[in-house]
Amino acid sequence: MTTPAGHARAGGAGDAPGQPALETHSLCRRFHGLTAVADVSLKVAPGARFGIIGPNGAGKTTLFNMLSGELRPTSGSVSLFGRDITALPPYRRVALGLGRTFQITRVFSDLTVLENLTLALHGLSRTKLSLLRPWRGYRRVMAEAAELAAGFGLAGRLTVVAAELSHGELRELEVLLALALKPRVLLLDEPAAGLSPAERGDIQALLRSLPPELTLVMIEHDMDVLRGVVDFTAVLHLGALVAQGPMREIQHDERVRELYLGRARPGGEPAGPAREAGAP
């Protein structure tokens, strides 16, 4: 597979050198007294492949929504390459190079693949407000859309309405839309959700093929998907960070195994997904 986003933007102007790509400081979010995310401080180095795991309900998506700006934190701050973005709306964060995908696939389902990609490619340009020129007339954008689609094996599907794509193709289009903006940091919310094992392999290969300077932050509750893609992992449980470290260490971390397997009790069934049981 070629690397469709081999043109990830180089460091933007005004970045302080040595700053983490993404950093949160004591991030909290409460919903009516329920604390969904509590005091999460993370540092993601530029070019890192950063995984966030945790069982369902751990607050992963809430954390993500605060990173991408869909949700305002109750307290705490988020910064991107050293710049405080806590108060910025999503579209401003996108302009600064923060892209995201959604767990529940959110493409423009009544538009064609080409129209989906065209929207994404105009996203950061002033041409998105252009009224007089037909969108099909932007040759460079059309060529870029075709190139992106070809890199992901969607070349023959450009004129297909997104609602008619297979589930795997939809997940790819989802990632493709985010990549079209050439983000410097890409937030992936369970990119493999609902995929068959074969399709999961495709997504993993796709993620591994991304340019090394692109910083990836990926939510997953399935450690198998993270393995081989991610090098550093944070573990979220009940809204709080319980562990973080290199993937190899996290896999063998006592607390994490406990979290995923449940405490072994005499006669008790292990709680949580048993997938991690066979971790070598």
Partner 1 sequence: MSSVSGRAGTTTPQGGGQRALPGPHGQLTLTALEQSRRLAGPVAGAAALAVLVTILTGGGFASTLVLDMLVYAIAAMALDFLGGYAGLISLGNAGFLGVGAYGYAIAEVHSFSPWAAVGVALGVTLGLGLGLGIVAVRVKGITFVIITLAIAEVIWGLAYQWVGLSEGDNGIPVSVLPSIGPFSLSNGLTLRMTVLAVFVVIALLLVTFVRSPFGLSLRGVRSNEARLAALGYRTGLHRYVAWVIMVFFTGVAGILYVFVNQLISPTTIDFSANGLITIMVIFGGLGSIWGPALGAVAMVLFQQELSIYLSRWQTLLGFTLIAVVLFGPQGIWGLVRAAGRRWDALIGRLQGELAGAAGQESPGTGAGPAGGSGDRQPRRRGGWLRGVPGLAGKAPPAGSPPGAGPARHGAGETRKP
Judged by the rule CB under 8 A, the positions of this chain that interact with partner 1 are 1, 68, 70, 89-91, 94-95, 99-100, 102, 106-112, 115, 118-120, 122-124, 127-136, 138, 153, 155-157, 159-161, 163-170, 177-178, 180-181, 196, 198-199, 202
Instruction: Give the DSSP H/E element, type plus range, for residue 236.
Output: strand 232-237
- Each as own residue / partner, the long-range contacts of residues 245-248 (CB below 8 Å, 24 or more positions apart, any chain) are 247/51
For residue 11, give the DSSP letter.
P
- Give the shortest CB-220-to-partner 1 separation in angstroms: 19
Q: State phi, psi for 34 to the nearest 5 degrees.
A: -90, 125
Nearer to partner 1 (CB atom), residue 94 or residue 259 = 94
Least CB distance from residue 217 to partner 1, whole Å? 15
When the beta carbons of 170 and 247 are compared against partner 1, the nearer one is 170
Choose between 180 and 234: whose C-beta lies nearer to partner 1.
Answer: 180
At residue 56's C-alpha, the angle toward residues 53 and 59, to 5°, is 70
| Alpha carbon 146 to chain centroid, angstroms | 23
Min dist. Cβ of residue 15 to partner 1 (A): 19
Residue 234 Cα distances to 206, 237, 243, angstroms: 22, 10, 6
Nearer to partner 1, 26 or 109 (CB): 109
Letter string b/e over residues 114-146, b meaning 16 or more CB atoms within 10 A of that residue's CB: bbbbbbbbbbbeeeeeeeeeebeebeebbebbe
Residue of 24, 49, 51 lying closest to 220 (CA atoms): 51
Do 135 and 118 form a contact (C-beta atoms < 8 A)? yes
Q: How far is the CB of 216 from partner 1 (least distance, A)?
A: 17
CB 73 within 8 A of CB 66: yes
The residue whose two tokens read 């607050």 is 59
Minimum distance from residue 143 beta carbon to partner 1 (Å) = 15
Q: Which residue's CB is nearer to partner 1, number 174 or number 259?
A: 174
Largest CA distance in the chain: 72
| Shortest Å distance, C-beta 159 to partner 1 | 6
Nearer to partner 1, 197 or 212 (CB): 197
Kindly state the tokens that stand for 85: 């973005």
173 versus 230: smaller Cβ distance to partner 1: 173
User: Residue 135 Cβ, how far from partner 1 at the closest point, in Å?
Assistant: 5
